[in-house]
Amino acid sequence: MNLNRKPIPVLEAVDRAVAEVTPLKSEAVPYREAYGRILAEDLKATMAVPHFDKSAMDGFAIRSKDSIGASGDDRIEFTVAEEVPAGSTSDYILKENEAFRIMTGAPVPASADAVVMFEQAKMGDGTFTVRKAFNPGENIAIKGEECQPGEVIVPRGTFINPGTVATLATFGYENVEVYRQPVVGILATGSELIEIDQPLSPGKIRNSNGPMILSQLKRMNITGKMYALEADDFDTLLERVEDMLDEVDAIITTGGVSVGDYDFLPKLYEALGAEELFNKVGMRPGSVTTVSMLGTVPLFGLSGNPSACYTGFELFARPALLKMMGHDKIYAPVVDGVLDGDFRKANPFTRFVRAEIDYRAGGIYARPAGFNKSNAVTSIARSNGIIVLPGGSRGYQKGDPVKVMMTDMTTGARQFNL
Amino acid sequence: MNLNRKPIPVLEAVDRAVAEVTPLKSEAVPYREAYGRILAEDLKATMAVPHFDKSAMDGFAIRSKDSIGASGDDRIEFTVAEEVPAGSTSDYILKENEAFRIMTGAPVPASADAVVMFEQAKMGDGTFTVRKAFNPGENIAIKGEECQPGEVIVPRGTFINPGTVATLATFGYENVEVYRQPVVGILATGSELIEIDQPLSPGKIRNSNGPMILSQLKRMNITGKMYALEADDFDTLLERVEDMLDEVDAIITTGGVSVGDYDFLPKLYEALGAEELFNKVGMRPGSVTTVSMLGTVPLFGLSGNPSACYTGFELFARPALLKMMGHDKIYAPVVDGVLDGDFRKANPFTRFVRAEIDYRAGGIYARPAGFNKSNAVTSIARSNGIIVLPGGSRGYQKGDPVKVMMTDMTTGARQFNL
């Protein structure tokens, strides 16, 4: 029982957890399955885009010099010599005042250098007239105007979004190197826990932290691995964790980190030879969060109280796991918002309040999501963000400017603006 | 060939698309697999939380009246009569100045009404003293203080987040009713398209829109169904789409919506008897986006140009599909940001610019993500949001206030703040 833990500031705790972990190795995945993974190689252009001069419009490809002098009073007439649908090409050499009928996306034949949109032409029978001179290159997407071969489109470390997948397809990357996703073991401890299908009896509660963490991992595109609940018995737990260590890249435990007689985790970490990074943080809820390293494996010792567990995961486990995934934006965006309800309780430490964010035309409004004690679970269900209230001697009231942490993002920020 | 389409404003087009679709039926899924789905029933508390008076701390449970009069000079001593670990109960009746040793989460026995934290007690041998009087209920989580049986925790229509999963577990919902996810068929049209493993030849480009849309759907937790590429041949396409209609809840096509001779989709929709909601929108890119309804099935006719296709999906298909999924927050959040680069080209219509959002301590900064023409693909890979520039006669410069659409959210907003 250790009553003398010294709390460290939240950001220092985050930094300690993030500093110790390193990206995992990479693996190849098919481009169509790459969404949500992190690039482990620079995505380079394998060719120019467009890779040929391409009509940007439906219309007629002409020699621009033939249009010189055209005006409303003195229209110039062209004869359609050939058609070029998208996907086709033509080797035909235009003669004076001849044109190709051409579709958007089709290659502009070498003998043409401008495209007249249908809307700019007055149609005749196999002919059309124009009322203005066209510049060379007009309505043409010039080869390489978007990018050149070898150019880095997005660097290693970038989250693969739908546009990245489209870019991989464009450049013919059938497979792409991405960072391996961490295998995360979850162990919910506490003899009060029962599974969902067991009968509830006095003193027992259903294991809600385990499925919650599985979902927090799923939101990050990681599959968690739930380990069986164990009694709060030291030798059994030690054995379990040693077995887990062979199978996982990170371990998340819930419960067993406070000062109770039955809280074995600190002893367990010691027995395993883990290096404790911190065991108390100046925050509410979740002050007793512990993070340790066992070699390269981080051990996140989260509180057994649901709100504390949730918050500890988002603050410490999430950025550390994203760093292991090679992500270059590991932090939840923290933005300026307006407090949309009172929170009068003063607290010496930074307080993280589960919040309903309402994106209004006038700004980002955040309302405390109901009952907000450390052991609350229902407020997490009502929240899509977290209000960050700095510690101090006063409470906060509706309308106060506050920082809001956006927890529901697929990508994030490079720095933590707490 | 229809040169006389009349553009409608973006928000009107969004409203038309959203108004016509309706939520799908519900189905039961196991609670552990419910993350990312939408509740089709109110999530109601099945019991009080906590469901028993619970110690909020590790320490000693006492009769508060026995502590009356305690002070630093006149400490009151208690004798430990029994222990109550988490998960256990005790029927023992405390006598005067007796206490239970009790752990966080354990039920407070009926004969006690306050908990002394270890940190508030001075230990003796099987005894402890306190220096203050405790109030009834102190350090106890009272039965039902978080919620009462029957209370609606989150209503039907709510996105199931990790906290919702924890709440389902707490209340013993082994299965939960969620809205069925739409089966979305994707058909990329255009004879210029080849698959990723086919050789590139002049005029041909690889199909990037199909995999991009699959990823946009995956970001929404929907599985898309890609249909084989077809030549731009009317009868073949008609047959294909009729087959698709038996298998899907929505269809997304790319290409074939502009005014080119080979753009069959408008004719196709007519042949199918579809009701066209709009065929031109006052926006760039994606002005030729078409949305039609065939009975209850929306047909999203997106542009073949990647940036236009991407933008059309996010503006029209996403909110409509989220409404079909029963979601009550179907719009991407649009927030106030700062333009972090020049965009000098004026445009009469609303322009949507793929953007890199940088969440800084000073605000939300959004920089145009490079080459931004309608046919660009690489800028989508570099973007995590979209800058919204109202139409007008002027360009915009670095530092201008702009609206930013956050495309990377798992949940969204109730209204579209464009």
Q: Give per-residue pLDDT as tens, B273-315.
A: 999 999 999 999 999 899 999 999 999 999 989 999 999 999 9
The class that CATH gives domain B54-141 is: mainly beta
Which residues in chain A have their CB less than 8 angstroms from residue B410's CB?
A: 219, 408-410
Average pLDDT score over residue span B202-225: 93
Instruction: Tell me if the bond preceding A285 is cis, omega within 30° of 0.
Output: yes
CB pairs under 8 A between A and B: 355
The domain over range B29-49+146-179 is classified in CATH as 3.90.105.10: yes
- Pairing type for strands B98-102 and B76-84 reads parallel
CATH superfamily of A334-406: MoeA, C-terminal, domain IV (2.40.340.10)
DSSP letter assigned to residue A160: -
Contact B38, B160 (CB under 8 A): yes
Shortest distance, CA A230 to any CA of chain B (angstroms): 13
Residue A361 confidence (pLDDT): 86
Q: Which residue of A has its CA nearest to B224?
A: A32
d(CA A402, CA A390): 9
pLDDT in tens, chain A (418 residues): 455 678 999 999 999 999 999 999 999 999 999 999 999 999 999 999 999 999 999 899 999 999 999 999 999 999 999 998 878 889 999 999 999 999 888 999 999 999 999 999 999 999 999 999 999 999 999 999 999 999 999 999 999 999 999 999 999 999 999 999 999 999 888 778 888 998 888 889 999 999 999 999 999 999 899 987 555 577 877 887 888 899 999 999 998 755 555 667 778 888 889 999 999 999 999 998 999 999 999 999 999 899 999 999 999 999 999 999 999 999 999 999 999 999 998 888 999 999 999 999 889 999 999 888 888 999 999 999 999 999 988 899 999 999 999 999 887 788 887 7
Which residues in chain A have their CB less than 8 angstroms from residue B193's CB?
A: 87
Indicate the SS3 state at residue B348.
Answer: coil
Task: Give the start-to-end residue ranges of the domains of chain A.
Answer: 10-24+182-324, 29-47+156-179, 54-141, 334-406
Domain boundaries B334-405, corresponding CATH code: 2.40.340.10
The region of weakest confidence among A3-7, B21-25, B52-56, B60-64 is A3-7
Q: Give per-residue pLDDT as tens, B374-393.
A: 889 999 999 999 999 999 88
Give the one of A167, A376, A414 whose C-beta lies nearest to B377's C-beta: A167
Give the one of B87, B165, B306 whose C-beta lies nearest to A166's C-beta: B306
Which residues in chain B have their CB less than 8 angstroms from residue A388's CB?
A: none
**Could you name the CATH architecture of B10-24+182-324?**
3-Layer(aba) Sandwich (3.40)
DSSP letter assigned to residue A65: G
Residue B1 confidence (pLDDT): 46
Residue A1 confidence (pLDDT): 46
d(CA B33, CA B160): 10
| Average pLDDT across chain B, whole number | 92
d(CA B189, CA B199): 18
Q: Which residue of A has its CA nearest to B106?
A: A203
Instruction: Tell me if the bond preceding B50 is cis, omega within 30° of 0.
Output: yes
DSSP for A215-254 reads HHHHHTT--EEEPPPB-S-HHHHHHHHHHHHTT-SEEEEE
Q: Which of A53, A170, A194, A257 to mutate to test the interface with B (most CBs of B within 10 A)?
A: A170
Fold agreement between A10-24+182-324 and A29-47+156-179: no
Q: Give per-residue pLDDT as tens, A109-129.
A: 999 999 999 999 999 999 999
At the topology level of CATH, where does A29-47+156-179 sit? Molybdopterin biosynthesis moea protein, domain 2 (3.90.105)
CB contact under 8 A, A169 and B212: yes
Q: Which residue of A has its CA nearest to B384?
A: A411
Give the one of A159, A260, A380 whose C-beta lies nearest to B104's C-beta: A260
